[in-house]
Amino acid sequence: MKKRYLAGCQNVQSRETQGGPSLPKRTRINERGLDKLAKLGTVREAALFETLARDAVRCKLCERLCALAPGELGNCKTRVNASGRLYTLVYGNLSVIESRPIEIKPFFHYWPGSTALTFSTWSCNLDCPWCQNSSLSKTPPDTLNSRYYSPEEIVGMAVGYGDEGLCASFQEPTLFTEWAADVFSLARRRGLYSCFVSNGYMTLDALRFLADHGLDAIKFDVKGNSQTYKQYCGGVRGDEVVWRNAKEAKRLGLHVEIVNLVVTEVNDDEKSLRQFVQRHIKEVGVETPLHFTRYYPACKFKKPPTKVVTLELAYQTAKSEGVLFPYIGNVSGHSYENTYCPQCQILLVRRDGWRLKDYKLTEDQRCPSCHAQISIRGKHVRKPGRLPLWV
Ligand code: SF4
């Protein structure tokens, strides 16, 4: 894939070369440091926090709900208490910007064939040891050397490239909610869609704030059951809040897809897979697409890749329990990447990884054979020969 704009993010390149960030290994910033930060375009007062006694604050962006003394950074290292107010350090501080097919996220039922200008900031609020994007998610922002991207600049870039939408992805986008909200509001006025690829560990307030500011679609990466969160990911409120948020996102009218990274010897046994499927049906219903994706050894986790037969079992379990649109991911060319009509079973969409190979649905997203309405939002976009991605 051709990276269109990575060179513009100078801090990505320099920091990868240097092998690490220059800012917070420490968890406190002194008054002089705070004065310096306050002058930067990437530092803004946070949208969601409450003040506590003795100039402490509580961040209400994600369910870690960090309580911070003055000068203290949150668990994610993207928020700091400066003199009794909470500030984000990542407003428009981007690590990567590139145009990507929406299928790669994966969104299989949302604007099929379209591209989204995709971007990220730094760090994460969870600690999953198998993170597949750890160069970004395990790196805190280098605030003093950051370059500020305005919402106008990003939306203008998407329009200029001919993208249909925007997507916040790669690391946990909840961490730059304030900036994403400003970008998405502008994007909606310019006729672009906006989506999030998220671990879903935000507060309800954060989710509603994003929806109010133009978020259209969200992919929730549900790690497994509460034990998976407690043992590996550091999210003590576990899967409960993620499923709660997925359900609320549906209620708010957002397009929702669910992903479960099936990790070897963590959440890959038959019982866990069946329980996951049943929870999916209970919280978001049989029509919501469910992707079981293949894990590869990464970051600190070295178990072998997920067996393909395990992913096939997950798919078949989902089918037998009644999920209408199960998929497997990271197994390029597998027939379980395709969409089949749940009514007459004919092949509707053929995929090879993120490549859309064949699209047989009618313009109003119906099966051409039995006319069943298929839950796909947005239009099918054809971009023949425009991008090297599509050959
Ligand atoms: S976003 Fe989450 S991890 Fe970061 S400071 Fe706020 S509550 Fe803590």
d(C-alpha 181, C-alpha 190), whole Å: 14
Report the number of distinct structural domains present in the chain.
Answer: 2
CA of 58, closest atom in ligand 1? 7
Report which protein residue has its CA nearest ligand 1's atom 2: 62
Structural domain boundaries enclosing 34: 6-88
The whole-number average pLDDT for the span 316-341 is: 97
**Structural contact between residues 256 and 246, judged by C-beta atoms closer than 8 angstroms:** yes
Rounded to the nearest angstrom, the distance between the alpha carbon of 109 and the centre of ligand 1 is: 31
Instruction: Kindly give, in sequence order, each residue whose CB lies less than 8 Å from that of residue 219, ignoring residues fewer than 6 positions away.
Output: 105, 106, 107, 195, 196, 197, 198, 256, 257, 258, 259
Task: Give yes or no for residue 226 having a pLDDT over 50.
Answer: yes
CATH number at residue 237: 3.20.20.70
The whole-number average pLDDT for the span 65-91 is: 95
Whether residue 336 lies inside any domain: the answer is yes
The whole-number average pLDDT for the span 320-334 is: 96
Name the token pair of 186: 């502008």
pLDDT band of 88, cuts 50, 70, 90: very high
The whole-number average pLDDT for the span 137-155 is: 93
Which string of DSSP letters, residue by residue, matches 349-375?
EEEETTEEEEE---TTSB-TTT-PBP-
Q: Are 192 and 254 in the same domain?
A: yes
Q: Which of 10-24, 200-214, 255-269, 325-339 has the lowest mean pLDDT?
A: 10-24
Task: Give yes or no for residue 340 having a pLDDT over 80.
Answer: yes
What pLDDT is attached to residue 146? 87
Report which protein residue has its CA nearest ligand 1's atom 7: 65
Question: How far apart, in Å, do the first and last CA atoms of the chain sit?
Answer: 11
Residue 203's nearest CA partner among 281, 123, 125, 261 is 125
Q: Are 126 and 84 in the same domain?
A: no
Helix (H, G, I), strand (E, B) or coil at 247: helix
d(C-alpha 276, C-alpha 246), whole Å: 14
Q: Are 83 and 100 in the same domain?
A: no
Q: Are 48 and 164 in the same domain?
A: no
What pLDDT is attached to residue 22? 34
pLDDT band of 384, cuts 50, 70, 90: low
Q: Are 214 and 270 in the same domain?
A: yes
Whether residue 13 lies inside any domain: the answer is yes
Task: Give yes or no for residue 85 having a pLDDT over 60.
Answer: yes
Helix (H, G, I), strand (E, B) or coil at 242: helix
CA separation, residue 252 to residues 116, 211, 215 (Å) = 22, 7, 10
Name the token pair of 223: 């790690």
Q: Are 208 and 242 in the same domain?
A: yes
What pLDDT is attached to residue 27? 64
Is the pTM value of this prediction over 0.85? yes
d(C-alpha 84, C-alpha 206), whole Å: 21
CA of 201, closest atom in ligand 1? 2
Whether residue 211 lies inside any domain: the answer is yes
Rounded to the nearest angstrom, the distance between the alpha carbon of 51 and the centre of ligand 1 is: 15
Residues in the chain: 391
Going by their DSSP bridges, the two strands 165-168 and 347-352 should be labelled as unpaired
Task: Give yes or no for residue 227 having a pLDDT over 70.
Answer: yes
Domain termination residue (choose one: 43, 61, 88): 88
**Structural contact between residues 111 and 381, judged by C-beta atoms closer than 8 angstroms:** yes
CA of 125, closest atom in ligand 1? 3
Instruction: Kindly give, in sequence order, each residue whose CB lies less than 8 Å from that of residue 312, ignoring residues fewer than 6 positions away.
Output: 328, 336
Rounded to the nearest angstrom, the distance between the alpha carbon of 126 and the centre of ligand 1 is: 10
- Count CB-CB contacts under 10 A for residue 385: 7
**Which residue has tokens 């269109």?**
4
pLDDT band of 20, cuts 50, 70, 90: very low
d(C-alpha 269, C-alpha 213), whole Å: 40
Rounded to the nearest angstrom, the distance between the alpha carbon of 258 and the centre of ligand 1 is: 23
Name the token pair of 364: 């109003």
- Substitution candidate for ligand 1 out of 28, 76, 88, 236 with most atoms within 8 A of CB: 76
pLDDT band of 358, cuts 50, 70, 90: very high
Ligand 1, pocket residues at CB < 6 Å: 59, 61-62, 64-66, 74-76, 78-79, 125, 175
Helix boundaries (H) for 229-336: 238-251, 270-284, 308-321
Whether residue 1 lies inside any domain: the answer is no
Whether residue 82 lies inside any domain: the answer is yes
% of the chain with per-residue pLDDT over 70: 90
Q: Are 216 and 360 in the same domain?
A: yes
Tell me the residue type at 365. Q
Domain termination residue (choose one: 88, 121, 154): 88
Q: Are 205 and 149 in the same domain?
A: yes
Report which protein residue has its CA nearest ligand 1's atom 4: 76
What pLDDT is attached to residue 41? 86
Higher pLDDT, 25 or 47: 47
Which residues share a beta bridge with 199? none
Whether residue 166 lies inside any domain: the answer is yes
Whether residue 366 lies inside any domain: the answer is yes
- Substitution candidate for ligand 1 out of 58, 60, 73, 78 with most atoms within 8 A of CB: 78
Report which protein residue has its CA nearest ligand 1's atom 5: 74
Rounded to the nearest angstrom, the distance between the alpha carbon of 121 and the centre of ligand 1 is: 14
Q: Are 83 and 116 in the same domain?
A: no
Burial environment of residue 248 by CB neighbours within 10 A (0 to 12, 13 to 18, 19 or more):
middle
- Substitution candidate for ligand 1 out of 57, 62, 199, 233 with most atoms within 8 A of CB: 62
Helix (H, G, I), strand (E, B) or coil at 200: coil
CA of 175, closest atom in ligand 1? 1
Q: Are 17 and 106 in the same domain?
A: no
Residue 267's nearest CA partner among 220, 236, 259 is 259
Rounded to the nearest angstrom, the distance between the alpha carbon of 61 and the centre of ligand 1 is: 6
Q: Are 76 and 156 in the same domain?
A: no
d(C-alpha 92, C-alpha 151), whole Å: 8
Rounded to the nearest angstrom, the distance between the alpha carbon of 196 and the centre of ligand 1 is: 18
Task: Give yes or no for residue 313 having a pLDDT over 80.
Answer: yes
Whether residue 130 lies inside any domain: the answer is yes
Tell me the residue type at 81. N
Q: Are 107 and 127 in the same domain?
A: yes
d(C-alpha 330, C-alpha 90), whole Å: 30
d(C-alpha 328, C-alpha 308), whole Å: 9
Domain termination residue (choose one: 88, 123, 140): 88
